[in-house]
Amino acid sequence: MSRLGVQAALLAAGWAAFFWLVSAQELWARVMGALFPQVSTPVYERNTLWELTWQHLGLTGVTMTLVVLIGVGLGVWTTRAQGHAFLPLVNNLTTVGQTFPPIAVLFLALPLVGFGATGAVAALTLYALLPVTRSTVLGLQSVDRPVLDAARGLGLSAAQRLWRLEVPVALPAVLAGIRTALVLTIATATLAPMVGTGGLGVPIIAGLGADNLALILQGAIPVALLALLGDLTMRTLERWLTPWVP
């Protein structure tokens, strides 16, 4: 088996172990009860950890779909002749999302979209757009101008130059930006319950309000593992999609 195949197998085992862990509600209750015997509520009881995990994954998945579509789309458009004049504006708008703390971005979105999952997705999308848009722009701009001129001289259309020349060169940078945005979204989504939605931030916020470390750990440990697995998954995908990168 190749090195990439071994990495993929280990990654699959890691995801299987993660889903087993978040499904073992009774195990969490026993372990947290033993670690914190003075706590009357060692696990969050309104939802299972399994349900909270899938809520978190759903929120992250919808957000990242929008981030990739919008971020890559803006990056490609602003590096074309018809959109190049808007590049400074796009850079400023995407930078605004990370100028404010994540919780501020969430609450600033409330007047526009209200409480609930829609507001959380809108705020998380704005917060995660910068790395994807910036990496796409930088990756596409890294293609040497003489190479593009030569391709134009050979009769390649704008679409052919994009897919045959620019995309392969820019792909490693784009994937790195998506990986950064994914980890940011997984971590920042823990604040989403503050605007009326679910996820692994629910026990964290409940634990903070009740000074209950067991509840905090019940949300924080899966989030940390999820961010780690997300990062490793993207790194494995990068190696598979860009085998020419050393």
Q: How would residue 45 be classed by pLDDT, with cut points 50, 70 and 90?
A: confident
d(CA 229, CA 21): 14
Reference 66, options 120, 138, 22, 14; nearest CA is 120
Domains of the chain by range and CATH?
3-241 (1.10.3720.10)
Distance of CA 49 to the CA centre of its chain: 20
Query: Does 203 have pLDDT greater than 80?
Result: yes
Query: Does 181 have pLDDT greater than 90?
Result: yes
Q: How would residue 6 be classed by pLDDT, with cut points 50, 70 and 90?
A: confident
Question: What is the structure's pLDDT at 159?
Answer: 83
Query: Does 113 have pLDDT greater than 70?
Result: no
Mean pLDDT of 9-19: 95
Question: What is the structure's pLDDT at 109?
Answer: 67
Q: How many CB atoms sit inside 10 A of residue 212's CB?
A: 20
The owner of tokens 């890559």 is 72
Residue 182 near residue 125 (C-beta atoms within 8 A): no
